[in-house]
Structure 1
């Protein structure tokens, strides 16, 4: 069965994000005692909030990185921004896992002609992914 290229690219993108998050988490644990102060960052309790936080924080990071030179204050701000980015990407990873499970349910349901299973999981998937594909 051929898969649409956009689906394959989307899955590859999210797999890369998730793998990067695992590496970052392991690397962070190894260097915890070397790191400066830690911050909470903005929480991401939903996919919509994660996407919103990514958008605004990416804009802020891009503005700082556009400067010719980064001051110590800029570096401190960037350090704080990364906590929000990490929170948002972690939530995105959780939600992508959920979406992958839902798509698998739709796939299996379509193979076995289980219309209710397909409809229920398909609708939930579409509602869940909506913030990513507006």
Structure 2
């Protein structure tokens, strides 16, 4: 089979692109936004299910591209979840101090905030 110049040039370009893709971080997709914890938990769960399906199959170039794209949404969701967990530690400290200093009103307020976040995290 004889390959023409344009076919060889295209093959070389694809090989170069594939090599560049493997060695450089490509950032050309935006993840699905996770503006709040409930959305972040939903996106985290949904996109991890998609990732699991891809990982269970053959890792073809198409699968790699799909995994690459969906990881952006997972990164966005994890960032929001991480921020919420950091804030949760501060809220728990408020609950702790309010219980220690006999401040039932503050304890109820902070406890409610704490449990709202905990209940969302339980959905993970």
Gapped regions of structure 1 (runs ≥ 5): 1-32
Aligned to 2:45: 55
Gapped regions of structure 2 (runs ≥ 5): 1-22
Give the number of aligned pairs: 101
Aligned to 2:114: 125
Greater CA radius of gyration, 1 or 2? 2
Aligned to 1:5: none
- Where do residues 87-126 of structure 1 align in structure 2 (5 Å cutoff)? 87-126=76-115
SS at 2:81 equivalent: helix
SS at 1:123 equivalent: helix
Moved over 3 A (4+): none
CA RMSD of aligned residues (A): 1.4
Task: Give the TM-score taking structure 1 as reference length.
Answer: 0.71
Select 1:66's aligned residue among 50, 56, 60: 56
Cα-to-partner distance string for 1:69-101 (whole Å, 9 max, x where unaligned): 211111011001110000000000111111111
SS at 2:108 equivalent: helix
Aligned to 1:14: none
